[in-house]
A and B are shown apart, each in its own frame.
Chain A
Amino acid sequence: MMYSNLVKKYYRINNLPHIWCPGCGHGILMNSIIRAIDNLKLDKDNICVVSGIGCSSRASGYMDFNTLHTTHGRALAFATGIKFANPNLKVIVVTGDGDCAAIGGNHLIHAARRNIDITTIAFNNNIYGMTGGQYSPTTPTGDFGTTAPYGNIDKSFDLCNLAKSAGATYVGRGTAYHASLLTKLIENGLNNNGFSFIEGVSVCPTYYGRKNKKGSSVKMMTYLKENCIDKKVVDKKPELGENKILIGELYNNSQPEYTEKYKEIIKMLSKES
C-alpha cells in the first residue's frame, strides 16, 4: 500500500485516515511531532503520549506509542502520574487551547511551576473545534464564536507567555505552515529535562475559519505564512515584530526537574532509616 515510511513506523494505520476535516491543521502538527521523535531516534516503546478531549486530543489514537486518551483538561494530571510512576518514560502531552487553557488551565500552570519533565504540545486553533465553535481562552478579542455571536469581549491568553510565567523551562511556538520549525522546537523540548511547552498554531477552517470569514484552509495557512516572524529576527529589529505572531524559540532556561528532586528526598529518607 501507499504509505510513507514514517506512517508505517509511527501510525496506527487501521485508524487512518483520521476524522479531522479537510485542511485541518492538526494533521500537520501531529506529523511534526512524529518527525521530531524520528529525528531524535527515540525508542517507540519508551514514549507515552497523553491527550485530553477535543479534535486535537484525538491525535493520541492515531499515534503508535503507549498512549492514553484521558478526560477534558486533565491530560497533564494523568501525565504527571505516569512520569512519577516511571520517570524513565518520555512523556508527551497533546492538548488543545480549550483543553489546556480553559478547563485544564490549572493543571497547565502547576505542571509548569513544578518543572516536571513533560513535553506539552498545544494545538491552538483559537476555538473549541470538537463541540462546534465556542470561543476559547485564545480566541482574539472581537472575534466570533457560536457563544460570542456579537464578538468576543474577553482578552485572550498568549499561551507561551502563560507557560513561561508559570515556570516552563523551554517554550516555543511554531505553526501548521512553519512545520519544520515546529519539529525542531519539539525536538528541543524533548531534549529539555523539565517542563517544555510548545504551541503549534493550527487552522480550523470549519469553525474558527467559517465564523470569522477567514476563508479556506489554504487562505488561513497563507495568513500564517505572511504574518509570523521569528523571535531571533525581532530581537535584532524590534520594529519588524509589530502586529506579527512571534514564532521560534521563546524561552530556554535549565532548572532542577521535579521527579529528580522527589527522588532525592526518597534517597535522603532511606539513608536515615
Chain B
Amino acid sequence: MCDNNSLIINTDWCKGCGICVEFCPKKVLSLSKGKVVAEKKEDCILCGQCELRCPDNAIFIGGKCDE
C-alpha cells in the first residue's frame, strides 16, 4: 500500500507558468530557471491546491510508489 503523503514535482512536464506558486496558501513554491521548486517543502500542508490548478499535471500529492 502507498501512503499518499508527499508533494511530487515532475520537472519535465512543468512549463513554469507560476499558477501553483501564486495560489499555494503556504508559499512553499517558487520558480527557478523556468521550473517550479518546493523551496519550503517543510511548510507544505498537502492541501492539493497546486495539483488542482496545474494545467500540466506537473505537481501533485502522491505516495512514495508514484515516484
A-side residues, CB < 8 A to B, are 1-7, 11, 16-18, 20-28, 31, 176-177, 179-180, 216-218, 221-222
Interface size on B (CB < 8 Å)?
25
On chain B, the residues within 8 Å of A23 by CB distance are 15, 17-19, 55
With both chains docked as a complex, state the minimum distance between the C-beta of B15 and any C-beta of chain A, in angstroms.
4
Are the C-beta atoms of B53 and A177 separated by less than 8 Å?
yes
Are the C-beta atoms of B53 and A176 separated by less than 8 Å?
yes
Q: 3 smallest A-B Cβ distances: which pairs?
A: A27-B55, A23-B17, A22-B15
Q: Does B57 contact A (CB under 8 A)?
A: yes
Q: Which of B31-67 contact A (CB under 8 A)?
A: 51-58, 60, 62, 66-67
With the chains together, A179 CA to B54 CA distance in Å? 10
Are the C-beta atoms of A221 and B23 separated by less than 8 Å?
yes
Knowing A16-B13, A218-B19, A221-B23, say if A5 contacts B55 (CB, 8 Å).
Answer: no
On chain B, the residues within 8 Å of A176 by CB distance are 53, 55
With both chains docked as a complex, state the minimum distance between the C-beta of B35 and any C-beta of chain A, in angstroms.
11
18 of the cross-chain contacts (CB-CB < 8 Å) are A4-B57, A5-B66, A6-B57, A16-B57, A17-B56, A20-B55, A21-B15, A22-B16, A23-B15, A24-B55, A27-B54, A27-B55, A31-B57, A177-B53, A217-B19, A218-B19, A221-B23, A222-B22
On chain A, the residues within 8 Å of B9 by CB distance are 2
Are the C-beta atoms of B19 and A221 separated by less than 8 Å?
yes
The contact of B55 among A2, A4, A6, A25, by CB within 8 Å, is A25
B63 to chain A: closest residue by CB: A5
The contact of A17 among B8, B13, B18, B62, by CB within 8 Å, is B13
Knowing A4-B60, A217-B17, say if A179 contacts B22 (CB, 8 Å).
Answer: no
On chain A, the residues within 8 Å of B17 by CB distance are 22-23, 216-218
On chain A, the residues within 8 Å of B52 by CB distance are 28, 31, 179-180
Query: Given A4-B60, A16-B57, A177-B53, 19 other A-B contacts at CB below 8 A?
Result: A2-B8, A4-B57, A5-B66, A6-B57, A16-B13, A22-B15, A22-B16, A22-B17, A23-B55, A24-B55, A26-B55, A27-B56, A28-B19, A31-B55, A217-B17, A218-B19, A218-B21, A221-B22, A221-B53
